Structure 1
Amino acid sequence: MTRVLIDCDPGIDDALALALAASRLEIVGITTVGGNVDLSLTTANALALREFLDLGDVPVTPGAAGALMRKTVRAPHVHGDTGLGDVVLPPAVRPASQGHAADFIIETLAASPGEITLIAIGPLTNVALAVLREPRVVEWAKQLIIMGGSFTRGNHNPAAEFNILADPEAASIVFDAGWQVHMMGLDVTLTALVTSEVLDRMRGLGRLSDLLVPAAQYYGVISADGGPAIHDAVAVAYALDPTLVTSVPARVDVETKGAYTSGMTVTDFRVSQGNAQVATVLDVKRFWDLVIGAYEELARRLG
């Protein structure tokens, strides 16, 4: 089973991604960052999800509350004031781990070099801090997969995707660190739409439906043609089956100085090798078959 460390900012789609990971991946740790909502809330949500998804003693370690050099950017208009929309989970009983997420990332990857995939589905502040503190994490990670960026468009503004916009300097550090970033950007995640058929498949999954259905519905109107996209789940699905995605090597630079383009992932496909594998097409049918199948397995375990 693939071992993963998930850096996140739950977040509705983070919650759906964690549920997917809980079904078929070995989660060795969860680290939290301020992003969709404040760090106190992303950490509380991660702790509640750890218990709801029956992840046992998987460490949850909080990290950076805000960007390295910027004012805070949040998205409660998308995820609700708590970060989980209308989802109501029992409050966690067990506390977060001591220490900082960046140090946890370093120590965990150092203990198992080449064995653990790092999946980052929030702003990249914790990952950048880990790189700055210990550059060898680039060698120790089996793979780095992110949900973030785009080669065509933004969502928080016309140029930039939210996770990159929230900390462009951190993203620049991560892309320039010397590893290959597997980038699941808006170009593919915006095709992972929850349709009314998908929502029907999410119903009847026992108590897991109490998470999946209100989370999906909070995002927006769901129709036969498709409603909201569950962005972060694409990064986890890629860890499960990379053949779901067509990706192309590219050079990605993060704009940090533009007045109107800060946070833009400037993507150059005119290279044979680059610092990234950029996802360009998602096999949507196979994606949803994998996701719903995994949720069904998890639902049977949870009861």
Structure 2
Amino acid sequence: MTDGQPIPVIIDCDTGVDDALALLFAVRHPALDVRAITCVAGNTDVDGVVRNTLTVLEVAGAGDIPVARGAERPLIEPVRTARHVHGEDGMGDLGLPAPTRVPVDVDAVTLLRREILASPRPVTLIPTAPLTNIALLLRTHPEVTRNIERIVFMGGAVATGNATPVAEFNVWHDPEAAAVLLTAGVPITMYGLDVFKRVLVPAGEVQRLRTSPEASLRLAGELLAHRDPATSGDPTPMGGLGDAGAICAVVDPKGITTEALPVEVVLAPGPARGQTIVDRRPRPGESEIHEGTREQPLVDVALDVDVERYVNLYLETL
């Protein structure tokens, strides 16, 4: 909380397994005022994302939070979902009933603009998905930046990617949108794969959640227990908080170690497309000396995370 008041936030998501974990946390933490949730194609198609988002809110017993359908494809690329990771329904194929809630009758960009400008306090945007909706918002309604406190996005990687050897899925899915985000002119925190992959809930806690009498806790446990069915063996242990870590970083920013660094998205075709190039050099190199420097936006890049701190924060909140 700031000054004892909850932080107004808007979450832009492509609700798959870890987005759902993020939503369960966000609607329950008293330091957050979730003003809206917008949906975009990514882990599954956009209509599936809307359905999954409404289902999670229903299971969580959340208040009347407006949910809007957004972009059904990236700015340039075709849709390339991650159902092979998140299941055919995008949320672990848990067989959850269809929600009774419905989305609002405006599109995501309209809802984003309305809620940002209507907020009495500057809003923190938390995209945990491909950044198509955010790019469309920034290009269509640039005036919203006057009431955006910060954008904390889950995306990018300093080291290794997952969609490609160098590109993280959310940025790879819509690199042009990510490039637009970086020029938003507001403070930005990049919660990338370097910290994303490290925050794991211990197996005993996962099992405890799965056997809880409370529906929202059982759902969290089942989501944490979900493994990528396309992998053999167990290279990625169950219990990953994933996108929920980005929400934790808004509630408790001291849980991550960040450094203000230049970040650029590779837009050219080829094996590096979608890579976030994070310049960690202490001084310019030969390229800048011989060819001149180009100003790159500085982003607060998460380089380390206090795993136990965020795991405890998540479990205590639920």
Q: Which moved more, 1:82-91 or 1:242-251?
A: 82-91
Partner of 2:49: 42
2:109 corresponds to which residue?
Answer: 102
Query: Whole-Å Cα distance in 1 between the matches of residues 316 and 171 of structure 2?
Result: 31
Note if contact 1:128-1:170 (Cα within 8 Å) is conserved in structure 2: yes
1:31 positional shift: 0.3
Aligned to 1:252: 263
Is 1:140 the counterpart of 2:147? The answer is yes
Deviation at 1:113, TM superposition (A): 6.2
Alignment-derived partner of residue 5 in structure 1 = 10
Partner of 1:263: 274
Runs of 5+ unmatched residues, structure 1: 296-303
Match of 1:19 in 2: 24
How does the TM-score come out when normalised to structure 1? Answer: 0.91
Computed over aligned residues only, the root mean square deviation of the Cα atoms, in angstroms, reads: 2.1
- Gaps in structure 2 of 5+ consecutive residues: 1-5, 284-295
- Asked if structure 1 preserves the Cα contact closer than 8 Å seen for 2:34 and 2:65, the reply is yes
Deviations 1:136-161 (A, max 9, x none): 22221111110000110101110110
In 1, Cα distance between the equivalents of 2:220 and 2:100?
Answer: 22
Does the Cα contact within 8 Å between 1:194 and 1:226 map onto a contact in 2?
Answer: no
Q: Structure 1: which amino acid aligns with 2:317?
A: A
> How many Å separate the matches in 2 of 1:222 and 1:188?
23
Residues 12 and 37 in structure 2, CA contact (< 8 A), matched pair in contact too: yes
1:178 is aligned to 2:185 = yes
* Map of 1:163 onto structure 2: 170
Q: 1:179–1:275: 8 Å Cα contact kept in structure 2? A: no
SS of the residue 1:118 aligns to: strand
Q: Report deviation, 1:203.
A: 3.8
Q: 1:201 to 1:240 in 2, by over 3 A?
A: farther
In 2, Cα distance between the equivalents of 1:257 and 1:99?
Answer: 34
The one-letter code matched in structure 2 to 1:33 is: V
Distance 1:138 1:271, change over 3 A: farther
User: Any conservation in 2 of the 1:195–1:226 contact (CA below 8 Å)?
Assistant: no
Rounded Cα–Cα distance in structure 2 between residues aligned with 1:248 and 1:65: 34
SS at match of 2:95: coil
CA distance in 2, matches of 1:87, 1:37: 15
Query: 2:95 is matched with which residue?
Result: 88
Aligned equivalents of 2:41, 2:23: Cα separation in 1: 17
Larger CA deviation: 113-122 vs 37-46: 113-122
Once superposed, which parts of structure 1, at least 4 consecutive aligned residues long, lie more than 6 Å away? none
Letter in 2 for 1:67: P
- The residue number in structure 2 matching 1:294 is 317
Q: Give the TM-score normalised by structure 2.
A: 0.87
Quote the Cα distance in structure 1 between the aligned partners of 2:252 and 2:233: 26
Computing the radius of gyration from Cα coordinates, the structure with the larger value is 2
Residue identity matched to 2:220: L
- SS of corresponding position for 2:273: coil
Q: C-alpha separation between the residues in 1 aligned to 2:299 and 2:118?
A: 25
For 1:62 and 1:262, locate their aligned partners in 2 and report how far apart those are by CA, in whole Å: 27
